[in-house]
Chains A and B, each alone.
Chain A
Amino acid sequence: MSDAALPAAAVRPARFRLLEPVMLLWVALIAALLVLVAAPLIKMLLISFEMQDTGEFTFENYLTAYGRQRYIDALRNSLLLGALSAAISTVIAVPMAWAVSRTDMPGKGFTWAMVLAAFIMPPYLGAIGWILLAGPNSGWINVTWRALTGATDPLVNVYTFTGMAFVIALHSFPLVFIFVKSALDLISSEMEDAANILGGGTWTTMRRVTLPLVWPSILGGFILIFLETIALFGTPAIIGIPARINVVTTQLWQFFEDPVRVEVAAAYAIPLLLITVAMIGVQKLMLSRKGFVSQTGKGGERRQVKLGPWRWVLFGWCLLVGLLAVIKPLTVLLQASFAKAWGRGFSFDNLTLRNYRFLLFEHDVAPQATWNTVWFSAASATMAIVLALLVAYIVIRKLMRFADVLGFIAMAPFVIPGIVMAIGFYAAYAGPPLSLYGSALLIILAFTARFLPIAYANSQAAIRAVHPEMEEAARILGSGRLHAIRRITAPLLKTSLLGGWLVVFIVASRELSAAIFLVGPRTRTMSVLLYDLSEQGNFEVVSAFGGILLFITMVIVGIGMKLVGRDFMLRRE
């Protein structure tokens, strides 16, 4: 009766199963994760206790790293800056998220576009834009303010602690927005109706019911921005140095001055790591109380809250944020990129293509840096997605005894500040025996590791969405595990993986903190070159190069929207 077409296999003894090709792949995966994540961190921890040159055990590095008030101040500044930026981001983003998710506010498409644009604008470009806007004497805002009011004091000053925090927040708030909005999207309107029926007005309901339900997401976004901010290098170097604010990242950079003191840098970075671990711990603690809306539950319909005239107030808020985060900085950057001298403002005799021409045709490194950026980003996005996909697959399908450990390692870079990661990579791989310093591989590996968590979260969500029975149905009909993955799982995952790939590509293409310590003369990326160019304050050329970077990003985003869907960057799975 039954088909005998499938070979009746003999039972194989257990020990041979270990050598199945699948097993070898798993071993390779573990090795890859060790190389990418564990080894750099361990190496960094080790050398932080080593004497330079001799390698003897010592605590000296820690004494040096924390032996000066200035160094401790830098740490304090970083923590304050992180907290302030995160707080400002939250204030900016939560009303926007609520408005877009739950209300009948007009201009939602516009708000989306602004959030997306603020997200893809590299923070250091935003910083330069804001120097042009809010320099105390020459910034457009202040010039206009003085012209209008005759005041002598500036209205805003970017070269201050709050100025810097604000500029950082303007490019970080999309993270809070994404977190909070996706949580709000899951709350049933019945939750609000229940409060309404008991006499709660729209505002009370929002304050007492809706927002508390998404508190974990707000907190998650806050912590993420805190971590991103303390790891940020570009903005503190561009704004912080003139503002004379030293932070951890610029201090780490100083430890790399001659003589290069990687050991001290490592020692200086370790507490940063502890702080992030502590933050995550705090988050866990705060959320351990039950009673928050399940992030995955659906249930119930969702209606828009009618705001009446207030919807215009909310829209005004979104418009203001869009103006500050995107429209204004972008306008001045574009103006500068096409200007002979940006200080002369907008006039026809000030227009030129010289800056672009210089970069594209006369500059020795710019075209190469552009190419480097594209292919490093593409390579690391590919590696990160492939790796993350395999790990997520193993973890979700519980294919191995300690699969969760793999998942944990893949997520670990999430809490490691990028700059710490870079120092770990430098310590582990720059020198002998591998001597990768200056090679493309070093940067690609570092980017892969740095963005592995994004890829992993993405892959995890994608795989979760594919019922394991889909694969099992193929296997029972005669297809092997890898064949089933190829024929069934992979096609089902294609779209969401492409989305993940594009997100990693975009964040990698603008990454500065990790790149700055690892680039060699032939491996400079656009972000590093932008940083180098900005040293001289040649904002016309810097802006033009920023324009090129933004153009590349826009093309990628455009492709993504076409292939994956409009909100692929802002979706949180």
Chain B
Amino acid sequence: MPRLTLTGLTKAYGKLTVVDRVDLTLEEGEFVSLLGPSGCGKTTTLRMVAGFVDPTGGTIAVDGSVLSAPGAVVPPERRGMSMIFQSYAIWPNMTVEQNVAFGLELRKLPREEVKRRVGEILEVVQLNKLAHRYPAELSGGQQQRVALARAIVVKPSVLLLDEPLSNLDANLREEMRFEIRRLHDEFRITTVYVTHDQAEAMATSDRIAVMNAGRIEQVDAPHLLYTRPRTRFVAGFVGRTNLLEARVEGGDLLLDGVNLGPAARAGIAHGVTGAVLVSLRPQAMAILAEEPPANDGLLLRATIAERTYLGEAWDYVLKPEGTALTLRAAAPPLEAHDVGAHVWLRIDPRQVAVVE
């Protein structure tokens, strides 16, 4: 039985639907991110899971029992979950130790056990030396660790995180990303992680659910999300891409009349035919100064229209000859081409994905 199941989960404020028929299932121990631009309804979804917000439609079930349905909601304190907030919400009137012990005390555990478990978890997050400090005496990263410890120590059925790293500076953010993943690998708590930062989601998650305007557009493992985006939105939101018009004829994908051959067939959903939109990643193309000896038909002649050097790579804008297309392609730093130069463009058909 899945640990957490969202079925048709909907939230509307008046006429405005901010979460729209969301379906999502988390197996026990799974780490799933909700990824999407700001305002797409991630926090609302998460807060419905936590019980802070009542759904206007659909249900939320944990281990098969329904905790939220319209008009009937188990309050947050009886869900056995825990949550990490954007503001950390570390109580400034309590020491680190008291903060962490709070949830355990509410569970009426014996005092020695509380003490032991608090000690253990502080060890894990490397705060044992700071147990008696007050939050005001901690750095941002340390506060974040207190929040993690406080949430994990109660062994919640589901751990919820709402953009937990957005208040940290860049270096610390990267460090904490791995910390969160490490803790997950250690405790295997079923986790829903909300973020608008795709790198964060990729680094931490088993699966990512991409949200847009209240709906989940795609749920997949991070690398599949990148190579096989299923919607135009996902393709554009997760990494950069070229969206091109193409045709499917007889099971083959034709891009500007060029048949991409059997290698591209995996990217076509079954039964699709006619005009489609495809996503072609900048990394799925190679730029060649000379026509290669073996022309397998996946080569286009193109002119360099613009170029920008980004440090890790070149970002080229190309105009394939004889078409109205504009393509962006990436190339390693040593592959420099002048603006106006005529080049050959090779497309990797495996990385072309048809999107809705």
Q: Which of A1, A6, A11, A477 has the most CB of B within 10 A?
A: A477
Is A3 among interface residues, defined by CB-CB distance under 8 A? yes
The residues of A that contact B80 with a CB separation of less than 8 Å are 2-6, 8, 478
Min Cβ gap A493→B in Å is: 10
Q: How many residues of A contact B (CB 8 A)?
A: 32
Binding site for B on A (CB under 8 A): 1-9, 11-14, 467, 469-470, 472-481, 483-484, 487-488, 491-492
Min Cβ gap B247→A in Å is: 50
Docked CA distance A27–B328 (Å): 63
Contact A6 B82 (CB under 8 A): no
Is B108 among interface residues, defined by CB-CB distance under 8 A? yes
Docked CA distance A484–B89 (Å): 13
Given contacts A5-B109, A478-B77, 7 further A-B contacts (CB under 8 A): A1-B157, A2-B189, A6-B80, A9-B75, A467-B87, A473-B147, A491-B93
Contact A476 B83 (CB under 8 A): yes
Min Cβ gap B18→A in Å is: 15
Out of B69, B87, B157, which one reaches A2, CB within 8 Å?
B157
Out of B75, B93, B103, which one reaches A477, CB within 8 Å?
B103
Is B337 among interface residues, defined by CB-CB distance under 8 A? no
Contact B77 A472 (CB under 8 A): no
Closest to A4 in B: B80
DSSP class of B's interface residues: helix, strand, loop or mixed?
loop
- Contact string, B55-84, partner A, CB cutoff 8 A, digits 1/0? 000000000011101011111111111110
Docked CA distance A513–B109 (Å): 57
The residues of B that contact A469 with a CB separation of less than 8 Å are 85-89
Contact A14 B71 (CB under 8 A): yes
Is B154 among interface residues, defined by CB-CB distance under 8 A? yes
The residues of A that contact B133 with a CB separation of less than 8 Å are none
Question: Which 8 A-B residue pairs are closest in the complex by CB-CB distance?
Answer: A477-B103, A14-B71, A2-B157, A469-B89, A473-B89, A5-B107, A469-B85, A478-B106
- Contact string, B140-165, partner A, CB cutoff 8 A, digits 1/0? 00000001001100111110100000
Is B333 among interface residues, defined by CB-CB distance under 8 A? no
Q: How many residues of B contact A (CB 8 A)?
A: 48
Min Cβ gap B223→A in Å is: 27
Contact B155 A472 (CB under 8 A): no
The residues of B that contact A479 with a CB separation of less than 8 Å are 77, 102, 106
16 inter-chain pairs at a CB distance below 8 angstroms, sorted by A residue, are: A2-B189, A3-B154, A6-B77, A6-B80, A13-B71, A467-B89, A473-B83, A473-B150, A476-B51, A476-B82, A476-B160, A477-B77, A478-B106, A479-B77, A487-B102, A492-B91
The residues of A that contact B82 with a CB separation of less than 8 Å are 476-477
The residues of B that contact A484 with a CB separation of less than 8 Å are 77
Docked CA distance A488–B78 (Å): 18
Docked CA distance A488–B135 (Å): 14
The residues of B that contact A474 with a CB separation of less than 8 Å are 91, 102
Min Cβ gap B198→A in Å is: 25
Docked CA distance A51–B153 (Å): 71
Docked CA distance A95–B72 (Å): 59
The residues of B that contact A11 with a CB separation of less than 8 Å are 66-67, 69, 72-74
Contact B75 A1 (CB under 8 A): no
Is B178 among interface residues, defined by CB-CB distance under 8 A? no
- Contact string, B81-119, partner A, CB cutoff 8 A, digits 1/0? 111011111111100000000110011110000000000
Closest to B69 in A: A11
Docked CA distance A487–B98 (Å): 12
The residues of B that contact A492 with a CB separation of less than 8 Å are 91-93
Contact A475 B76 (CB under 8 A): yes
Q: Which of B80, B150, B160, B188 has the most CB of A within 10 A?
A: B80
Q: A1-B29, A2-B157 are in contact. Are A476 and B91 (CB under 8 A)?
A: no
Docked CA distance A13–B150 (Å): 32
Is B52 among interface residues, defined by CB-CB distance under 8 A? yes
The residues of B that contact A5 with a CB separation of less than 8 Å are 80, 107-109
Is B50 among interface residues, defined by CB-CB distance under 8 A? yes
Contact B75 A473 (CB under 8 A): no
Is B28 among interface residues, defined by CB-CB distance under 8 A? yes
Docked CA distance A472–B85 (Å): 9
The residues of A that contact B92 with a CB separation of less than 8 Å are 492
Contact A2 B156 (CB under 8 A): yes
Q: Which of B81, B82, B103 has the most CB of A within 10 A?
A: B103
Docked CA distance A472–B52 (Å): 8
Contact B72 A470 (CB under 8 A): no
Docked CA distance A267–B154 (Å): 64
